Amino acid sequence: MNFMQFLKSLDDLLYEIITWLVFYPITLWRTIRQPFVMMAYADSELEDTAEQQYPDVLSPPIFLLLTLLLSHTIELALVGQSSIVADRRGLAGLISDDTSLLLMRLLFFAIFPLIMAVALLRRRKEPLTRDSLKPLFYAQCYPAGVFALVLGIGSLATQMQGGPAFRSAGLAIILAAFLWYGSLQTLWFARTLAVSKLRGFGIATMTMVECVILFVLLAALLA
């Protein structure tokens, strides 16, 4: 790669990153307002060429990553260094800085869209392949981003030095995050599997329990 090609690549990278300032809030707002529309959009855009995908919003994995980055930045501003980074015992020693902590959180929250996508394929009795899993995983990344952000805000509120009032507010926010995410998954399973909402609720509940158990197990390894 000659110098001019390097400058062109740098120019494209800089433009891509700076446009996140515009398209991140747009993606977040649209996901909050119309989560099912965004999930369908994430699926349909994969049919286009790579250059034409997601022209007016962020791609789902990038949206999830930036949401966790935003949540992490808020945590650093309000609470300070994470206790996981500050206390490097056990497997937590693998997390030596904020970058590795962010990547670990990305892995944690990617569990939710992954397990949801696998659960749908399993109940459709479709083969589990990279091609069959990808559109469902991408669709799930949008609501997972909102879920992670609200959950992070609730968790931060419980850590703030404001007494029982802050802890109660934080727990209420965490509960609201689970209720919103669980309701969305209930409707998603009911619609995509053409089953009743009660059946969709049962599937969503079982799948969320699986996600939380795996999430907790991974977190326990870092304790």
**In which residue are the tokens 């789902």 written?**
60
Structural domain of residue 84, as residue ranges?
3-221
Range in 10-24, 32-46, 195-209 with the lowest mean pLDDT: 10-24
The pLDDT score that the predictor gives to residue 208 is 92
**In which residue are the tokens 């999830």 written?**
64
The answer to whether 174 and 155 are in contact (CB under 8 A) is: yes
Q: Where are the alpha helices (DSSP H) in 2-160?
A: 3-18, 20-33, 35-45, 60-78, 83-86, 98-124, 130-159
Q: Quote the CA–CA distance of 64 and 109 in Å, as a whole number.
A: 8
For the stretch 99-108, pLDDT in tens is: 666 777 788 8
The pLDDT score that the predictor gives to residue 41 is 93
The pLDDT score that the predictor gives to residue 167 is 85
The pLDDT score that the predictor gives to residue 127 is 92
pLDDT(119) > 50: yes
pLDDT(147) > 50: yes
pTM of the entire structure? Answer: 0.85
Range in 29-33, 62-66, 75-79, 180-184 with the lowest mean pLDDT: 75-79
Tokens of 112: 């939710």
Q: Which amino acid type is present at position 216?
A: V
The pLDDT score that the predictor gives to residue 105 is 79
Domain total for the chain? 1
